[in-house]
Chains A and B, each alone.
Chain A
Amino acid sequence: MSVIIQIKDKETESSIKKETFFNTTLKNFFLEISLITRFAAHFFIELLKPPYEFGELLKQSYLIGCKSLPLVGITGFIMGLVLTIQSRPTLVQFGAESWLPAMVGVSIIREIGPVITALIFAGKVGSGIGAELASMKVTEQIDAMEVSGTNPFKYIVVTRILSTSLMLPILVVFADVIALYGSYVGVNLKGDVSFHLFFSQVIESLDFMDVFPALIKTFFFGFAIGLIGCYNGYNSNKGTEGVGISANAAVVYASLLVFIIDMMAVQVTSLFM
């Protein structure tokens, strides 16, 4: 009898533990969402308030945008080339080889270009921002700015989020062009299509609703990457260990957010098509 009671007690204890764990995790999740929302609201408030940090914005745009060009370019080229090589056999089977430029063009412009570039950007820039801000926090640089009478949120966070929001769309356009060039190279590996003909087919296959929504969503991708990177770095509080945690969290959550925004963008776009 006492054994049965003991087993029942253990079961009850384990179910309470599970429930507590579930509640805590859920509570932490919603707490984190509310803190990120508050951080974003703070960004918009500081964005509108003078003085404006144009110098730092330009510097960050250069560091975030220009310095990402080689990586984004190489990735874009490989993306276009591989997509073309992989798609070719299937299209050949259906006798639709001539559709290759149009199909690759639409895929790259609408979906693959923005998403892959945003993921690369999250890995390079998001983690960089997370680690940089966390180490600034650990070494008291943010405190030093604050006591010198400078608003560190405006100087560090606003400029970086604005830079990522403005630079990612430009990088995506650049990556799309390079990817299409990669596709052109891919098409010519086993065929002979002129540069002019290839790009004419690509441009003819695209319309406004392919390009515009794809470009708009990249602003949101950039904003999300900057926001998550800054949030994790700015709120880092575990010493040097926190630097690694912030960098890692910045990449993971920013990448996840890219997919969520993409899913929402597709739903919204489909309403107008």
Chain B
Amino acid sequence: METKTDHTILKTEIEKMNSAVELKHLKKSFKDKHVLIDINLKLAKGENLVVLGKSGSGKSVLIKCLVGLIDADDGELIVFDKNISETSSDELNTIRKKIGFLFQSGALYDSMSVRENLEFPLRDQKKIFKAELNKLVEEALADVGLSEAIDKMPSELSGGMRKRLGLARTMILKPEIMLYDEPTTGLDPITSKEISKLILEVQKKYNTSSIIITHDIECAKITANRIIILKDGLLAAEGTFKNLEKSEDKWVRSFFE
């Protein structure tokens, strides 16, 4: 009963807050496979929302729909008060510049050095002078503790360093919304914890609203203000870490054991 009350309070609070992202009746299928059936979701400004769910439950599809990498079949995807499925490609690109996306693999540009990787998102900002650009790159690297790697190639970096560099590249545009696709996958527990703390730091420093897709419960515990769990294309559970950890539903609890 207590859990339900907490959950209701949380929902009311989210409703009251300004939303950065709002999904209404989002649907996505791949041929006969219905990945997202009816997703309704609000991400409040400054909130860290963790999305849990079994592999193949559509977590990554959800955030890829948000940046237009995958076209939704139906529903509204409202980001910065605009339905992105109805925007022109120029408008979509403007919106994308305010959204950071950390890919599972880091998605670093192999043919470019660390410096060039960081400069890449800023390349069409003609008004930035070289000295200013250098300062921004150095600052972004310092934020993730990678200052010494500035002239290295991505192939010379470890898994954790690649993730941190991916985060630095995303943060260089100072996005208002951050989407993390399994940020700690493939990392050892210590590095995973470092990345999770970094996500929290980013939220505090830049007041970003974030959606974090993860299987790592430790990461969810550190970063989440709210957690949702997807099952069979629907939103199966929602609440704070504490709520869901003590849920009466065995299936929900199994994520936290």
- Residue numbers of A with Cβ under 8 A of B are 51, 132, 135-136, 139-141, 143-151
Beyond A140-B103, A144-B107, A150-B121, 19 additional contacts (C-beta under 8 Å) are A51-B124, A132-B111, A139-B110, A140-B107, A141-B109, A141-B110, A143-B69, A144-B103, A144-B109, A145-B120, A147-B67, A147-B69, A148-B96, A148-B121, A149-B93, A149-B96, A149-B97, A149-B121, A151-B93
Q: Is the CB of A146 within 8 A of B121?
A: no
A135 to B110, CA, bound (A): 10
A136 partner residues in chain B, CB cutoff 8 A: 110
A136 to B124, CA, bound (A): 21
Query: Is B173 interfacial (CB-CB < 8 Å)?
Result: yes
A145 to B69, CA, bound (A): 11
A135 to B111, CA, bound (A): 12
25 A-B pairs in the complex with CB atoms less than 8 angstroms apart? A132-B111, A135-B110, A136-B110, A139-B105, A139-B107, A140-B104, A140-B107, A141-B110, A143-B64, A143-B69, A144-B103, A144-B109, A145-B120, A146-B69, A146-B96, A147-B96, A147-B101, A148-B120, A148-B121, A148-B173, A149-B94, A149-B121, A150-B120, A150-B121, A150-B123
Most chain A beta carbons < 10 A, residue from B93, B99, B107, B173: B107
The A interface, classified by DSSP as helix, strand, loop or mixed, is: helix
Query: Given the interface contacts A146-B69, A149-B93, does A141 sit within 8 Å of B124 by beta carbon?
Result: no
Chain B, 88-120, CB within 8 A of any chain A CB: 93-94, 96-97, 99, 101, 103-105, 107-111, 120
Q: Give B41 Cβ to nearest chain A Cβ, in Å.
A: 19
B110 partner residues in chain A, CB cutoff 8 A: 135-136, 139, 141
Q: Is the CB of B94 within 8 A of A143?
A: no
Most chain B beta carbons < 10 A, residue from A143, A144, A150: A144
A143 to B67, CA, bound (A): 10
A143 to B108, CA, bound (A): 11
Using CB atoms, name the residue of chain B closest to A146: B69
A151 partner residues in chain B, CB cutoff 8 A: 93
A148 partner residues in chain B, CB cutoff 8 A: 96-97, 120-121, 173
Using CB atoms, name the residue of chain A closest to B122: A148
Q: Is the CB of A140 within 8 A of B105?
A: yes
A146 partner residues in chain B, CB cutoff 8 A: 67, 69, 96
A135 partner residues in chain B, CB cutoff 8 A: 110
A-B pairs, top 5 by smallest CB distance, nearest first, are: A144-B107, A140-B107, A149-B97, A147-B101, A149-B93
B120 partner residues in chain A, CB cutoff 8 A: 145, 148, 150
A188 to B229, CA, bound (A): 80
Q: Is the CB of A141 within 8 A of B69?
A: no
